[in-house]
Structure 1
Amino acid sequence: VFDNNEIVSLPETNRFPRPCLFLQVNGEKERLSLLVSRGSVDAVSQQMASHPQYLESFLRTQHYILHMDGPLPLPYRHYIAIMAAARHHCNYLVYLHSTHFLRVGGDPKWLQGLEAAPPRLRLLDHINKVLAHQPWLTACSHIQTLLKAGEQCWSLAELVQAVVILAHCHSLCSFVFGCDTDADFVPLSSKSPNGTPPTFCPFDAANGNTNVVYHSLLSLIISFPVIVSFKDTEEEEEMMICLADPSRFITDPDFCYQEFARKEEDHFQVFRVQDYSWEDHGFSLVNRLYSDIGHLLDDRFRSVATLSSLHSDDLKRAIWNYIHCVLGIRYDDYDYGEVNQLLERDLKLYVKAVACFPDSTKTPVCPLRWTPLKTSERIHINLLIMEARLQAELLYALRAITQYMIA
């Protein structure tokens, strides 16, 4: 696959990406083979490719929750991903999962909007909204509503998988917008300038890596009319419009991130990690209810924390703890004065924007002091943001599930 440090594509055997083959590898070149998925590579993987060890962990987790054995049928998984991405108006992920939804046999009518989906999926709308924007509002009552909804009720195992998919896709939206992938994504009806594929990445262009494969998502979208038969052209156009409009999959569009209440206002209780942590509580619960996912998620958190970087460990810890802080999570043994010492104001604004309201950033401007940094360093920051947000959402959701189970 590799020749003179360049990535070349394998023969295309299928228009749709197939699961990556995960091999035991020893070097950076070999790890890059994870990017080759029978001839197609998506733009997100291209961005993460500068950190191949982390990318391996990310792809393992994503493949497991979307394709491997689990309580939820495959169409449900991709529809839940659509719902999650739509909360942040992430066209890239909505298109991607809409296409995968159809590929695994999903009913095209569901793509007309949330109201066309089965009632069981619509029941997830509230927890999707809360986890995406104000996760501290996640309560035991939300879990009870889903598990006690009569004929439409969810099983505990199904709900855990759904929550993992929601949190995974919400946090991935932060990465997509942080790396400007969504801005570079061109809808089916648009034309790419100068022949540039719709998932073209400006970071790779800056590095001269324009020979890297970017065609997979375009292939998915172009394949769409072949998958579904339409009675006439007008109906086909209507379905394409449906795919282009994430707002069809959400309710209460004005619900968004709000500043977490300060302690003196006493509106919401601060989430203290000493009382409920990933290591001591969340990991064991999620692993028990959704086999092996705890190990995969834990590997992601460890991978991003141990990536080699120009950034000091103190800086990485400050970014992580700052994101948790703005989402209402506090560490009693951490000196938050370090956040202001280590994170310049522009960097704090960037981190908070990408973590809390990524769809509003659209094309986030990197702080000036980032200018001399390599692309891999910028991406590392966005990986930290994504993983910190993912863990925060999981902590809130899993704590609520724990409260339900012991009530």
Structure 2
Amino acid sequence: MSFPDKPVAQLLGSNGPVHAVTYSAGSGTYILTGSSDRSIRLYNPQPTTGTAGTPSLVKTKDGGFVTSLSAGAAPRATPVPEGRLIQTYAEHGYEVLSLACAADNARFVSSGGDRTVFLWDVTTAQTLRRFGGGTGGGRVNCVCFAGEGDSLVVSGGFDTVVRVWDTRSGGSGPNVKPIQALSEARDAISALVVRGAEIVAASVDGRVRTYDVRTGRQTIDVISGSAGVTSLSLTRDGRSLLVGALDSRLRLLDRENGTCLRTYSSGGEDKESATAKDAGLVWRNEELRVQSLIGGRERFVVAGDEMGRPPGEAAALTPSKNTTPDGRVWAWDLLTGRVAATVTVPWGPPGAATSGRSIGRDGREKERRNVTSCLAWQDGGWGDQFCVGGTSGVVTVFGPR
């Protein structure tokens, strides 16, 4: 199986960076996106069927795509097909940071800067419940469903507490109390995964804590003494856990004994050593929450890129005039740890990025980069594909050739 590196759709409409993406349950026909513009959008990523004679997309040396024309004609840039916007959900008052879809696809849950957890009805685009009585300490970074029939919602955020909410209990709003609160973390909760009766929580304090709610047992894995943990992804059998941290390392842990089975970086044990070997590219994740996951039927480890540099351009203190704002996704072979692919993520449709620079909050000119911070993978349904969002506000869907 080759890595799916062909852009098959772009999901447009966001007026700011996209912080969260997720596929619908089951066949993964739809994609939900959460943005800094306070909106959640539901898309069908499958574009309308092309007409006869439509030119095909051909990959170029720099990782982009052009249209194949008749012999002797110069190729011209072709926009990636646009996915279809189905619905917009607009109850958040602040940025949306996390999304999770229930197994029945009738509900989904979201969280963000509101300090509140929103439970939504997909069809009516209305909130069914809001949980926020105990989240006054700051934004809620992550949410997920749990329990039989997805009757529970687990949340974690800036106030360092993991909370479990019962969606079947009455009431909504700030007076609703969680049925359980786990407060052992010493810094913000950055990621959550749930498997059966186990809640796995990542924290900026460099620890991964696993709670067995049946036995009350807590297991702590110390990932780093100085770098926060920002991403979690379980294997299907639940025996291994992919952990991303702010030291430019991804680690695959054996959950039974806590040993590190494999480390993933751009240069093996020395993260700078592969710079020349891999077209001058170095993968870094040292400042921002960049998501990583296990995909391709557990063949690949996939992660966004904080640097977002174009192919062949080494890191520089001063941005060059030729710098493009395109982002990048990295893929490693799960077993060997070797880089399997580096995929360019376009800023947006042709003409969307008129300049490679932007003005920062300090008033200074800065390089515009598409930091690819959120990912979702879908193995079933339409086949192997994944979607990626970031600072450009455009979500790009990649599929096989």
Tell me the TM-score normalized by structure 2: 0.24
More helix by share: 1
More strand by share: 2
The higher-RCO structure (CA 8 Å, 6+ apart) is 1
